[in-house]
Amino acid sequence: MSRRIVGISLKMYFGHARATDWFGQVASRVSGHAAVAGGAVEVFVTPTFLQVPAAVSAFAGTRVRVGGQDVAAEAEGAFTGEVSALELAEVGAGLAEIGHAERRRLFGETDADVARKVARSLEAGIEPLICIGETARHSPADAASVAVEQLEASLAGAPDGSVIVAYEPVWAIGAPEPAGDDHVRVVAGALRSALDGRPGSAVIYGGAAKPGLLTRLGDAVDGVFLGRFAHDPDALIEVIDEAAELAYQ
């Protein structure tokens, strides 16, 4: 695994006008960024469903990928309020965020639900962004066991294809500091081993991620998944620069 990835989820923090402005600001910065333009660093953003077409339009001509923050577990049918992987692909999205801790906690999403969404995404040519993480603090070894079990359940019955695994210990989401470096190394290593049968897959870290983390972790992860820190486009570029330094080593 040699991908270098910087991802951003906007959750539901931005209205449409603010999101569109943010897309434009980020697009203007990454369009001239050699590492992004050359493909050494992959950047993706998951805005709200309503913002996906605007994001696709704003990032046209760049390598930035746009994804949905969720996806339906069914391909089509009478499922009011749902958005299918096929429709996401049709409007230009390239990935789908699946199984985030908030979806599990607030909406009761289960590993079985995640597995169905992963399968529908791969069938539609959408790369799944599978969120994995333990809810309580554990030793690195125990956390790795929980993470691998979640991942295996999420991939049950899934067709072939690469995935991005976002390791986000739930207790670190929104915390002042990320999980410890050694903790992340152990869990990320276990997740990578579990992905051996899926060439091209990647493991990134989320949960209070900020500048300096990628430099410390080096090759232990393939990138980071950012939240509110990236609301400032200049702060986002700091992390992209950091990923670029590692990509060119």
Q: Tell me: the pLDDT tens digits for 161-195?
A: 999 999 999 988 888 888 999 999 999 999 999 99
User: Residue 175: what pLDDT?
Assistant: 83
CATH code for the domain of 201: 3.20.20.70
Distance separating alpha carbons of residues 239 and 249, to the nearest angstrom: 16
Percent of the chain whose pLDDT exceeds 70: 100
Q: For residue 23, is pLDDT > 70?
A: yes
Q: Confirm whether 109 is a catalytic residue.
A: no
Token output for 141? 């070894």
Residue of 87, 100, 134, 183 with catalytic role: 100
**Is residue 139 very low, low, confident or very high in pLDDT (cuts 50, 70, 90)?**
very high
Q: Confirm whether 168 is a catalytic residue.
A: yes
Residue of 109, 168, 183, 242 with catalytic role: 168
**Is residue 149 very low, low, confident or very high in pLDDT (cuts 50, 70, 90)?**
very high
Percent of the chain whose pLDDT exceeds 90: 93
Q: How many domains does the chain have?
A: 1
The CA-to-CA distance between both ends of the chain, in Å, stands at 15
Rg value, the chain, Cα: 17
User: Residue 1: what pLDDT?
Assistant: 47
Distance separating alpha carbons of residues 168 and 178, to the nearest angstrom: 9
Across residues 67-84, what is the average pLDDT?
98
Burial 180-208 (b: 16+ CB within 10 A, else e): eeebbbbbbebbbebbeebeebbbbbbbb
Q: For residue 38, is pLDDT > 60?
A: yes
- Residues 119, 75: contact at Cβ < 8 Å? no
- Which domain covers residue 151, as residue numbers? 5-247
pTM of the model: 0.96
